[in-house]
A and B are shown apart, each in its own frame.
Chain A
């Protein structure tokens, strides 16, 4: 028999070596896989997405902006553009690059996969929010349209991604952009700039001078006949209504800023009662549906009854049943603040 010490060391070395090769994501085999991935396809698809994005936001797209977006040099970007044109995905009109119908539907397919994946990750997987985009960015190049349809079916054919962007249907339909002129907004509302009219040039340049661009998030502070005051990227801007009319915005329903103001369920001590006010939007998909199925809807009376180790999970009495919920969820269930009482 071999010396046990030598055997031990050999054993540890073998395990270390195997994990060096096969450890997911960091292991050699996964790295190798990544190196050999089809970079050209990825670049083509990323470029198409960028072009579509420009089109959707109504700004013009150039070779330079592609280079910037994909972080490649201008030379490569130029080559990429001519490749796209050769594939019939792109039409070049002077400086301006325009998607062909075929290119647009290709782009929409990629976007569909991307947004579906974000929805899936958000609803079904408990992946960290920060990781959604990166994972979706990878998957969008790997998924076929059929796989995308299957994923969609599995998660209930969602129509919005977790950021509120619409998911293109499998036929490439998107809802017509909804929005209204900036001057019709009310104070306190949040919105996204979705479109800036570039005619007449005089007004357009005034808007640009303010540093406004589509996709920017704004919050309206004050509206009157004479001026509209709003906050954009932390800076205050003032525009006259005539100019503001040329900016189209989409209202965003920011989640009620409830933190701090309202009690959360997890703050109930054993024996205390409360009335449910609502469930935070951050609880999505199945988690949210489950809670509602169990009867946690606005107006439900709820009482903390049992605590596990470290108060997580806690069992609550809800509509006659005792239901254990983790703190993570209980933190996101809001209670009416005044009505809490000792039970």
Chain B
């Protein structure tokens, strides 16, 4: 995978961290908006601080960040706005912190969503990754806390993981700054369209559920043909999500446009 990512970017300037410029709170004229999502206490704010040079509070307990924070950085001449979101276990429940994260990923339409994943609790974290992949095509998994995973003897094949999820996976240890160069590069590549994702979609074995979703998908795509995540909207409607209902009523949903719909995407991942 990493080979491909590089070859995709053969004409890019040489990558190194020297190209990273921390911009702090300066986010004027940014080219791309990047969201940092993930389970609580996985190191989102640590990644955020590393890239922006800001001092967002971090703490070793779930729920440290409850409001969203923004900062900027520059890489390869492009300016990025980075948004640190509150940690969430899921996007399907209905609590305040989750709404902040969910609304930003869906309606804020970041150019790339970086999902910070705790390498020592992969399955639980994948739950959220899978949900986010229903909403957006452009995502990167930042497989953080690799130092702890190694210490606990957990081996993770990031290539397989990447292949299964259909998006790039970058192993990191944010506290030590390891893997940050690769992460920045990948953010750049996905944001500028050098790397095209083909995200995993939920496969459900429930016939009842699938049938209901199919009915709704048909109705929704007739009204909102450009929507990139119709299936997810259908799911949320079935769960009675008010902000989706409002977005349908007001037509705001029509503003969400997919850039890499699956039809256009060529398979990039080896």
Contact = CB atoms under 8 A, between A and B. Distances in A.
A153 interface: yes
B245 A321 contact: no
Given A155-B94, A156-B94, A286-B93, A319 B241 contact: no
Interface string B117-161: 000111110010000000000000000000000000000000000
B93 A294 contact: no
Contact of A319 (B94, B95, B121): B121
A133 interface: no
A158 interface: yes
A289 B121 contact: no
B124 A321 contact: yes
A295 B121 CA distance: 10
B117 to A, nearest CB: 12
A91 interface: no
A260 interface: no
Contact of A156 (B89, B120, B239): B239
A289 B124 contact: no
Given A286-B95, A289-B92, A156 B240 contact: yes
Contacts of A158: 240
Contacts of A286: 93-95
Contact of A320 (B90, B92, B121, B239): B121
Contact of B93 (A153, A290, A318, A321): A290
A154 B90 CA distance: 17
Contacts of B89: 290, 293-294
A80 interface: no
A156 B94 CA distance: 7
A293 B121 contact: no
Contact of B240 (A159, A293, A295, A319): A159
Nearest to A159: B240
Given A319-B121, A320-B120, 4 more contacts: A153-B242, A289-B90, A289-B94, A319-B123
Interface of A: 153-159, 286, 289-290, 292-295, 318-321
Q: Which 7 A-B pairs have CB atoms at the shortest separation, nearest pair first? A: A157-B240, A153-B242, A293-B89, A320-B121, A293-B90, A289-B93, A156-B240
